[in-house]
Amino acid sequence: MTNSSNTKSTQNIPITKEVELIPMLKLSIDDSRSQLQKLRAEERLAWAYEQFGSGFVLTTSFGIQSSVLLHMVHGLKDRGLVIPVIWIDTGYLPAETYKYAEKLTNQFDLDLKVYQSRISPARMEALFGRLWETNSVEDLEKYHLIRKVKPLDNALEDLEVRCWASGVRGGQTDHRRSMTYLDPIRGRFSLRPLLEWTQKDIFYYMQKNNLPQHPLFEKGYSTVGDWHSSAPEGSASKGRDTRFGGLKQECGIHLPGVMGEGI
């Protein structure tokens, strides 16, 4: 395991130089992926904690399926594993999400770290307008960079994170089908404990563990982010196609390079 000084020196490494991140692992990246494939989701979280210690965190959006990983993290406390949870609050989340976040935080006694953009929603709108209303992919990317990507990168740097887990699943978007259980991204590793899970897997896990549903689930939402870029499923759009007016599938957090969706 690397010390904090080594961690800081790797934070700005381009993710294309995957080999430079390898010393952060106890195994080769191929062996790590092979090992992770054989583990259950909860065991993948424990594996990452053993690899990265305090440099490992979970990110959450308190979205439709967020309770699954949050429940798993809570369960690991019985083994003495306390994993911080990062929440990027864009300032534009539905009221239902804020209430759901409060409920899950209390229910699972989360070590929650809330991060926001350094520019307020009002200031952003005054300077750049309502970027989500222009029907422009470029404006959406600017919005995501300001409200999601940069705040997450600030959180990862402040907490000296070397690996962060999220609830992305391979079947959600075209980009996510190319993911593995452990990938380098913007100078760190990203763990995907639920990568091969289906909607049925999510449903049965929540049912088995009596986990509360996001309030918008009953209103037809299969995924939810900001209030202005989320919609219930309909005949014309389902899943991630209900987000961002159908212009994009990703907000940028899980993308390499300058443009970085946590679950």
Task: Report the catalytic residues.
Answer: 251
Give Cα 24 to chain centroid, integer Å: 21
How far is the C-alpha of 125 from the C-alpha of 143, rounded, in Å? Answer: 10
Nearest-10 crossing angle of helices 199-208, 67-76 = 50
Residue spans of alpha helices (H) in the chain: 4-10, 29-37, 41-52, 67-76, 95-108, 121-128, 137-144, 150-158, 199-208
Q: Count Cβ atoms below 10 Å from residue 129 Cβ, excluding itself.
A: 12
How far is the C-alpha of 228 from the C-alpha of 77, rounded, in Å? Answer: 36
Q: Count Cβ atoms below 10 Å from residue 256 Cβ, excluding itself.
A: 14
How far is the C-alpha of 85 from the C-alpha of 79, rounded, in Å? Answer: 17
Place of tokens 């300032």: 91
How far is the C-alpha of 246 from the C-alpha of 243, rounded, in Å? Answer: 6
How far is the C-alpha of 128 from the C-alpha of 134, rounded, in Å? Answer: 11
How far is the C-alpha of 246 from the C-alpha of 73, rounded, in Å? Answer: 32
